[in-house]
A and B are shown apart, each in its own frame.
Chain A
């Protein structure tokens, strides 16, 4: 039978044997059954809701990490400071061979880690003489001097095992005072409000807070403990013992295999995010257009699972 002829037969109104079928009753019963099931699941299992991490919580729980991260922000060596588009022009960003799509899209959400994360928030907390003097000294210096101070202190802090009390004397400008001032501000809870508002009354963009939080080790450690890291299928996990976004399994899968998990020294590993996004885009398109893909569209005929689905019909029709 020709394909066109078969398509006509398969699309024509069915004139063979029929059965009674109460569509409305089926819909009502389905709604009732599903509602009961959902209520039962919600009652017995609840839902996950691990408390959000605040800057106050971070500074109190891991003051050393918060202090070190602040120094990185001032030195311009944090992940956010060197991210590239859409936040800044510090790097070219990831690529797909010759294509640098993030850079092409440009800097649409400018983030100045020094001023947005440290100097501007501290300006709202400058009622202590040390911080006020530190801010004045920082602002009076040119940008090269500022970076030199912060870099010198960052190196000295690393040598002292991130312990500010063991840092040897050096040319650090006001960096130690600014870092300890921001820790104090965070511990008081003020930093959370100031970072969010950025001088505005209404605000609902958490980009800067999230970037700052992610520059520290504390946030990362919390997600590792919760099994949320990308290299452990974290994208489809949920906090606690709850199912997460299991439907993202294929997206997570690529991060578990070579060459995508080969690390930053491998051309594909270093740009895995971009490659995986493109792969998933193509696979999604493939799902939508599956009936048009030779080979794949023939699988249902070749693997006779349909014999199971329509087994009664085939038996009754002797097919």
Chain B
């Protein structure tokens, strides 16, 4: 390739994206086999536990989606799959909240990791919305009551004009298509940011003149 053509290619969006990806998230960062020595606490397992729970939610949710929203009322197998979905959601939130509190006390937004925190926060809000629509599409007494009560909240601020909690069709589509897509996308961005930016170093790691020690001498394990 001539230098002239090479320079022209560098102006392409595709080339720019590739260059930026290679610079910020090389494969060594995406799939690391070493981590800083401070990554040694149980609190670090709650992020991956949240992701694993999300995996079970998606798997059990797909089965429920294929069988239809009323299947689990009529079939023992259906009720079991619904139970898998139910408990994976409960665990998902427990793990995510612990993960979130852990990251708060670590002040994990430090070191230009603001977007990592923000995408995590948006993922939490999107998860609440997704779970809420899930409770609305249970097609049982609980979902009847939740939709009856929740309509007042959404109507009170005008949102109910378009987001109709009493419309099963709308809520089902939002629960199985739109909201999981949003949540999935944000989760992927969040995880990629974690990998690209690395795990935040301990508070005070660079205070008291220790910065030089910590970030200039690499001692292999």
Contact = CB atoms under 8 A, between A and B. Distances in A.
Interface in A183-219: 204-207, 210-211, 213-214, 219
28 contacts: A16-B217, A18-B34, A21-B32, A26-B45, A35-B52, A42-B87, A47-B79, A48-B142, A49-B82, A101-B156, A105-B158, A105-B162, A205-B166, A210-B166, A211-B166, A222-B141, A228-B145, A235-B149, A246-B93, A247-B93, A247-B97, A289-B121, A291-B109, A303-B105, A309-B105, A313-B37, A314-B202, A316-B37
A278 B138 contact: no
A82 to B, nearest CB: 13
B148 interface: yes
B184 interface: no
Interface string A29-59: 0110111011101110111111111000000
A241 interface: no
Interface string B178-212: 00000000000000000001101111111110110
Given A86-B160, A213-B148, A309-B105, A207 B167 contact: yes
B156 A273 contact: yes
Residue among B52, B117, B204 with max Cβ neighbours from chain A (10 Å): B52
Residue among A14, A207, A284 with max Cβ neighbours from chain B (10 Å): A14
Contact of A105 (B56, B110, B161, B215): B161
Contacts of B106: 300, 306, 309
Given A17-B219, A49-B73, 11 more contacts: A12-B111, A13-B198, A20-B33, A30-B45, A33-B52, A47-B87, A86-B161, A206-B166, A248-B128, A303-B105, A317-B213
A186 to B, nearest CB: 16
A316 B39 CA distance: 13
B34 A300 contact: no
Interface residues of B, number: 111
Given A22-B33, A288-B118, A309-B106, A51 B168 contact: no
Residue among B90, B122, B135, B221 with max Cβ neighbours from chain A (10 Å): B90
A10 B197 CA distance: 10
A90 interface: no
A219 B153 CA distance: 19
A34 B51 CA distance: 10
